[in-house]
Amino acid sequence: MVCWDPRIEEMPKEDLQKMQYKLLKSLVYRLYSFSPFYHDRMKEQNVHPDDIRQLADVKKLPFMFKRDLRDNYPDKFFTASKEELVRYHVSSGTTGKPTVVGYTQNDLNLWTTSLARALTSAGLGRGDVIQVSYGYGLFTGGLGLHYGAERIGATVLPTSVGNTERQIELMQDLGATAIACTPSYLLHIGEVAEKMGIDIRKDTQLRTGILGAEPWTERMRVRMEDWLGIKAYDIYGTSELSGPMFTECSEQKGIHIWSDIALVEIIDPKTEEPLEPGEKGELTVTILQKEALPMVRYRIGDITSMDDEVCACGRTHPRIQRIQGRVDDMLIIRGINVFPSQIEYGLMGIPEVGQHFQIVVERKGALDDLLVRVELTKDSFSDKITDLMNIRKNVEHRLKSSLNVNVNVELVEPGTLPRFEGKSKKVIDKRSL
Amino acid sequence: MEPENFVIRQISIFSENRPGRLAAIAQALGEEKINILAFSIAEANGFGVVRALVDHPEKAHDKLQSLGFNVAFTEVIAVKMRDQPGGLYEIAKILGDAGINIEYSYAYSGKEGAVLILRVDQVGDAITKIRKTGATLLERSVFH
């Protein structure tokens, strides 16, 4: 196993926790002194920096939410002066005002270091050609991966998103060994390559995918690895934390969260109490060393669980499991919680339908109606109506038994569901509540 | 005459049940100068299967596939009928008596008379049985 920074990555857990405590303590003092917002929050909660006497005391601190960032648009939250900022990123404001993230040079260095460790742990390094097919610009994906890949001495192919045929040509001509993009975009690339008569397995040198920015499933990984002949690694991060920061290591058993960079807690979203390792809850992150936009107990809204055992790779830092959904992605269908990721998981086990799907929720009379539209694959098309009806029934049955809610399935023609180059929008909720 | 000479290649196309799908299929075939000799639409809730006998099945298949359609070949047989009252009965009775199970069927009446297109479980078996009854099967060369 190769580590980017073995001293930190293999540090005994007790030492890591001591380090986290020190960093947390100084962060809280700094915020109490310099962030009017956080000072007031702490006062409201009746907590003083002196109350933080051990790492577990983090739970005395107030939470931060996305709405706090929006309410303080664009930069009222920053604890660095304008002169100290070297970059902005802005997250898409699909549900309100956008979120602006500012970075000092140290913030960028921290982000890049985090990715350098992560990409190394996924087996990448000098000699690799990493195609960065995340959007470049205000979105953190493109530039984040770009600098991370350069830091480890890999060669960057900064294709950004779009113009898929050209992306595939360049992948072939310049011998890209890895690609960083959303899982749905990689599926799209795979389909376009097939149409162009290019077999990603044989005709390119691609062997690694660094995939994230949207939830995906274990079955999708298996399907993609088999289909494209790559190893697919999950990557995690959000713009508020800096951007994509953490990935799985070569063990592919969870995403290592570097303890000197972030302190993660999994809490019960209702009771707000910390949960045990292995229990599923809401991810809450404190970035321990961030200058321009500090984040303390930030409630990202992603749902996952944590594994604090030392990894088989030798790294001591805790791992989070793949994101299972978002607190706000959750659909409530007839009172039952349904995550789009569960639907994806169910569909991936059915060979007769393709990887793409669309969820349409409507209110019919007093009842919610859940419709899942799936593409019939070429190989499973039968001229017999009864065969097709059986495929549909089978999909309905499989989804119903895993979701505990009635599902209607519509078979659609291949290639007709929308494809996404960035984050996919798979849910259409027509209910006006 | 070899039995396989009576096996006709029908093209089957998966289609969503929404306006314009049949037009899209027909337009594609028209552009390729493919003539449709007979066709039918089987409908289920939300989707359908368009089945057609055409003069150039390979060309039709490739064109539709290149447009993204889900297309397959299906083997069917064609039985000649008298184009008069009772014509269908004669053939249907023969098929029934011979123990031939029909999966689906459609018919057309053209210049050379009336024709019943059949999709059956065991094509080879059905051809043998029908020929024994004395009914007339149309050869593949009549269509393509």
Q: What is the pLDDT of residue A432?
A: 66
User: Do the chains contact at B70 and A413, CB–CB below 8 Å?
Assistant: yes
Q: How far is residue A309's CA from residue A327's CA, in Å, rounded to a whole number?
A: 26
Residues of A in contact with B119 (CB under 8 A): 383
Q: How far is residue A169's CA from residue A175's CA, in Å, rounded to a whole number?
A: 10
Q: What is the pLDDT of residue A405?
A: 87
Residues of chain B within CATH 3.30.2130.10 domain(s) are 7-75
In this structure, are residues A98 and A92 in contact, taking their beta carbons and an 8 Å threshold? Answer: yes
Q: How far is residue B68's CA from residue B63's CA, in Å, rounded to a whole number?
A: 9
Q: pTM for the complete prediction?
A: 0.70
Q: Three-state DSSP class for B87?
A: helix
Q: Three-state DSSP class for B67?
A: coil
Condensed to tens digits (0 to 9), the pLDDT of residues A342-381 reads 888 888 889 999 878 999 998 887 778 899 999 999 888 9
A381: contact with B, CB 8 A cutoff: yes
B24: contact with A, CB 8 A cutoff: no
Cβ-nearest to A414 among B42, B46, B70: B70
Q: What is the pLDDT of residue B142?
A: 83
Look up residue B4 and give its DSSP letter. Answer: G
Q: A92 falls in which pLDDT band (50, 70, 90)?
A: low
Nearest-CA distance from B18 to chain A in Å? Answer: 10
Number of DSSP helices (H) and strands (E) in chain B, helices first: 4, 6
Interface confidence (ipTM) of the complex: 0.83
A366: contact with B, CB 8 A cutoff: no
Nearest-CA distance from A433 to chain B in Å? Answer: 27
Q: Which of A193, A87, A42 is nearest to A131 (CA)?
A: A193
A410: contact with B, CB 8 A cutoff: yes
Q: What is the pLDDT of residue A91?
A: 83
In this structure, are residues A51 and A25 in contact, taking their beta carbons and an 8 Å threshold? Answer: no
Q: Three-state DSSP class for B46?
A: coil
Cβ-nearest to B70 among A376, A385, A389: A376
Q: How far is residue B43's CA from residue B33's CA, in Å, rounded to a whole number?
A: 27
Cβ-nearest to B44 among A385, A412, A414: A385
B61: contact with A, CB 8 A cutoff: no
Q: What is the pLDDT of residue A422?
A: 67
For the CA atoms of A172, A175, A177, A180, what is the dihedral angle to 10 degrees? -60
Q: What is the pLDDT of residue A46?
A: 95
Residue A63 has pLDDT above 70, yes or no: yes
Residue A94 has pLDDT above 60, yes or no: no
Beta bridge partners of A285: A264, A298
Average pLDDT for chain A? 92
Q: How far is residue A2's CA from residue B41's CA, in Å, rounded to a whole number?
A: 61
Q: Comparing B77 with A94, which gets the higher pLDDT?
A: B77
- Nearest residue of chain B to residue A378 (CA atoms): B70
In this structure, are residues A244 and A142 in contact, taking their beta carbons and an 8 Å threshold? Answer: no
Chosen for mutation from A413, A417, A419 (greatest number of chain B CBs closer than 10 Å) is A413
B89: contact with A, CB 8 A cutoff: no
Residue B43 φ/ψ region, left for φ over 0, alpha for ψ in the -120 to 50 degree band, beta for the rest: beta
Token code pair at residue A128: 């690799």
- Nearest residue of chain A to residue B121 (CA atoms): A384
Residue A172 buriedness (CB in 10 A; 0-12 / 13-18 / 19+) = middle
Q: What residues contact A68, with CB distance under 8 A and at least 6 apart?
A: A37, A77
For the CA atoms of A286, A289, A295, A297, what is the dihedral angle to 10 degrees? 20
B68: contact with A, CB 8 A cutoff: yes
**Whole-number Cα distances in Å, A247 to A119, A131, A428, B30:** 7, 16, 30, 53
Give A 388-407 residues with CB within 8 A of chain B: 388-389
Residues of chain B within CATH 3.30.70.260 domain(s) are 77-139
Amino acid of residue A224 = M
In this structure, are residues A63 and A299 in contact, taking their beta carbons and an 8 Å threshold? Answer: yes
Q: Which of A249, A236, A264 is nearest to A314 (CA)?
A: A249
Q: How far is residue A397's CA from residue A289's CA, in Å, rounded to a whole number?
A: 49
The predicted model gives A311-340 an average pLDDT of 85
The predicted model gives A44-72 an average pLDDT of 93
Beta bridge partners of A209: A179, A232
What are the structural domains, with CATH classification, of chain A? 1-327 (3.40.50.12780), 331-429 (3.30.300.30)
Q: Which of A336, A256, A338 is nearest to A303 (CA)?
A: A338
- If one counts every other C-beta atom within 10 angstroms of the C-beta of residue A332, the result is 13
The predicted model gives A40-62 an average pLDDT of 95
Residues of A in contact with B47 (CB under 8 A): 388, 410-412
Of the listed ranges A177-191, A280-294, A415-429, the least confidently predicted one is A415-429
Residue A392 buriedness (CB in 10 A; 0-12 / 13-18 / 19+) = buried
User: Do the chains contact at A413 and B14, CB–CB below 8 Å?
Assistant: yes
A218: contact with B, CB 8 A cutoff: no
Of the listed ranges A162-171, A211-220, A324-333, the least confidently predicted one is A324-333
Give the phi and the psi of residue A228 in degrees, each rounded to 5: -100, -5
A415: contact with B, CB 8 A cutoff: yes
- Nearest residue of chain B to residue A411 (CA atoms): B47
In this structure, are residues A382 and B14 in contact, taking their beta carbons and an 8 Å threshold? Answer: no
Whether omega before A74 lies within 30 degrees of 0, making that bond cis, reads yes
**Length of chain A, please?**
433
A180: contact with B, CB 8 A cutoff: no
Q: A263 falls in which pLDDT band (50, 70, 90)?
A: very high
Q: Three-state DSSP class for B50?
A: strand
B14: contact with A, CB 8 A cutoff: yes
> So what's the architecture of B77-139 in CATH?
2-Layer Sandwich (3.30)
A412: contact with B, CB 8 A cutoff: yes
Domain covering B7-75, topology? VC0802-like (3.30.2130)
Condensed to tens digits (0 to 9), the pLDDT of residues A210-230 reads 999 877 889 889 989 999 999
Q: Are strands A243-247 and A231-238 parallel, antiparallel or unpaired?
A: antiparallel
How many beta-carbon contacts under 8 Å exist across A and B? 44
Q: What is the 3-state secondary structure (H, E, C) of chain A?
A: CCCCCHHHHCCCHHHHHHHHHHHHHHHHHHHHHHCHHHHHHHHHCCCCHHHCCCHHHHHHCCCECHHHHHHCCCCCCCCCCHHHEEEEEEECCCCCCCEEEEEEHHHHHHHHHHHHHHHHHCCCCCCCEEEECCCCCCCHHHHHHHHHHHHCCCEEECCCCCCHHHHHHHHHHCCCCEEEECHHHHHHHHHHHHHCCCCHHHHCCCCEEEEECCCCCHHHHHHHHHHHCCEEEEEEEEHHHCEEEEEECCCCCCEECCCCCEEEEEECCCCCCECCCCCCEEEEEEECCCCCCCCCCEEEEEEECEECCCCCCCCCCCEECCCCEECCCCEEECCEEECHHHHHHHHHCCCCEEEEEEEEEEEECCEEEEEEEEEECHHHCCCCHHHHHHHHHHHHHHHHHHHCCCCEEEEECCCCCCCCCCCCCCEEECCCC
In this structure, are residues A390 and A376 in contact, taking their beta carbons and an 8 Å threshold? Answer: no
Instruction: Give chain B's residues under pLDDT 50.
Output: none
Condensed to tens digits (0 to 9), the pLDDT of residues B40-81 reads 999 888 899 999 999 999 999 999 999 989 999 999 999 999
Q: Are strands A129-132 and B8-16 parallel, antiparallel or unpaired?
A: unpaired
A433: contact with B, CB 8 A cutoff: no
Q: What is the pLDDT of residue A423?
A: 64
Condensed to tens digits (0 to 9), the pLDDT of residues A243-261 reads 999 999 999 999 999 999 9
User: Do the chains contact at B70 and A378, CB–CB below 8 Å?
Assistant: yes
Residues of B in contact with A384 (CB under 8 A): 103-104
- Nearest residue of chain A to residue B73 (CA atoms): A383
Q: A21 falls in which pLDDT band (50, 70, 90)?
A: very high
User: Do the chains contact at A383 and B49, CB–CB below 8 Å?
Assistant: yes
Look up residue B95 and give its DSSP letter. Answer: H
Q: How far is residue A301's CA from residue A215's CA, in Å, rounded to a whole number?
A: 12
